[in-house]
Chain A
Amino acid sequence: MEMDPLEVFEVEMPGEGYGADKYREIIMDILQDLGLIRSIGRLYVYVNIERPYFAVFGMIRGKLPPLKVEEVGDLVAAEGGYQITVEDEEHMAGLIRALWGAYGREKVEQPDRNVLVVLSEESPGGLVVADLETEFRRDLLDALVRIAPEGFRNRRNEMAKDNFFFLAAEETITPEIIAEAKERLGGMRDA
């Protein structure tokens, strides 16, 4: 499904109007810090402070393909191998690690800070540097744990292909709480 980044973002906290506004800010701040806003399409947050629990339902915007060597830098054939010139150093460490793993340390040279030379017959272009999808899921869970109030230490997390459901509560999480949270979040989506 095509979605704009965070095209829907709703926070509902019955009886806690101030808290709802503030949590909106907190969630934005944390998602921004971790660079996740562009990957989330819709986000619904429901908090029941009486029970109490904190529930989030989100829809993920499309799947991120794995990052390959040819996308990280400029790949040109050089004498005896291939030369990779990297502009953005964010993935440099991952790139070196991937090349070491595939060709061995003695076949990878770094004549300059942003230049790598691979002594190989075949092009390393298709080698996977980073699995962005796994990284995104990890960051997303980290963000949710950070966002939920700290006292809510019992957590449940359901990650699906294109959506996620997160529930945090102070007391033991029972099937009733899960059902109630899902019903409330479902109501927000249908509204």
Chain B
Amino acid sequence: MLDPVMFTGGVYKHDLVTELIEDLGGYLLQKNVTQSEVILLMLVPHEDMPALEAMTKELKGKLERAPLAGTEIAVVTPTLAIHHLPHPACDVAEYIRRHGAKSNMIGMGRGVAREISQMDEFESALINEHDAVVFTFGNFADCILKKEHLYRTLTVPVIVTGGPEMKKEDLPYAFEYVPNVGRIAHRSRKATEIGSLDNIIAAVGRALDSVRASISKDPLTTTPPRAMEVVREQVPDVTQSLSPLPIALNLNGLRIKLPYDEYAEAVAGVEFDEGVTLGEIAKVMPSRMKNYILVRILPVSETGFVV
């Protein structure tokens, strides 16, 4: 059992933390250096948490649980115009990021209005590459009801946010509805607004738990963090990628930020200690996001073994 945690502290001696994680058999998911501060997102074995806590205390850092670590969440706005951005979509995305998830903002090409809004195949495929999605809608109950067709075909859990209170049964295709967000023209800073953001995090957490529960019925052949570690070792070019998170973790695979045409073979060919290659236990395909590589790990029922 791995615990997702976030370490915040000084750059000085932070490599002691990364070394400790390596020694404990945990995984470093992301490292962000901002001037003199560093933020590390990690998965740590539950029983070894005291060791990391002691180290954090010694370095005078801060250790927090990051319940959404190792997941990718899409935050979808009807468009990228001033009406929807930066508030509140950026607040939602930033808040999700602070809880450890990788959040991607997606503005739909034709998501606006009640009668004419639509989503195309590319957009829904792109959203389906994530682990969960948060739709930010506006203040009119009528519009929220009529925009259901935008997310009806999605296969990932959908959290709908909007202004008014709505009944759960009115939105049968949404995993959950979070009220009191809606359209605002200022930054979320009041206690009630921050409380609504907390509600979104809780809803996303429940959505991810439901995905985890369905995966556990037919477990994956290997865990995404382990696959990430192997790719990082055997395809060293990935460390040269300029993306802040060169390998993004999903609950059922990875997104590797290298060009598909050049690196797909190398990624499929990486070998685990047990002798199998990633290509044998996972689908390696082009991602809809730029020309990245998407890896989807196959379940045990398809491969017949666990590595």
Contacts and interface: CB of A to CB of B under 8 A. Distances in A.
Contact of A25 (B84, B142, B164, B185): B185
Given A16-B141, A29-B184, A151 B116 contact: yes
Contacts of A164: none
A62 interface: no
Contact of B113 (A18, A29, A170): A170
B185 A150 contact: no
Given A16-B139, A16-B140, A49-B143, A22 B184 contact: yes
Contacts of B184: 22, 25-26, 29
Nearest to B117: A151
Contact of B183 (A22, A49, A52): A22
Contacts of A49: 140, 142-143
Interface residues of A, number: 23
Contacts of B141: 15-16, 18-19
B230 interface: no
Nearest to B147: A151
B109 to A, nearest CB: 13
A146 B139 contact: no
Contacts of A121: none
Contacts of A18: 139, 141, 163-165, 182
Contacts of A74: none
Interface stretch (B75-83, B125-133, B167-175, B269-277): B75-83
A153 B113 CA distance: 9
Interface string B56-95: 0000000000000000000000110111100000000000
A16 B163 CA distance: 11
Contacts, number: 70
A49 B147 CA distance: 14
Contact residues on B (Cβ < 8 Å of other chain), bracket? 20 to 34
Interface string B198-237: 0000000000000000000000000000000000000000
A176 interface: no
Given A49-B142, A170-B114, A29 B165 contact: no
A26 B183 contact: yes
Contacts of B182: 18, 22
A30 interface: yes
B79 A150 contact: yes
Contacts of B78: 150-151
Contacts of B115: 170-171
A153 B116 CA distance: 11
Nearest to A169: B113
Nearest to A151: B113
Given A16-B142, A19-B139, 16 more contacts: A16-B139, A16-B140, A18-B141, A19-B140, A19-B141, A19-B163, A22-B163, A22-B184, A146-B83, A150-B79, A150-B81, A151-B78, A151-B113, A153-B112, A170-B113, A170-B114
Interface of A: 13, 15-16, 18-19, 22-23, 25-26, 29-30, 33, 49-50, 52, 146, 149-153, 170-171
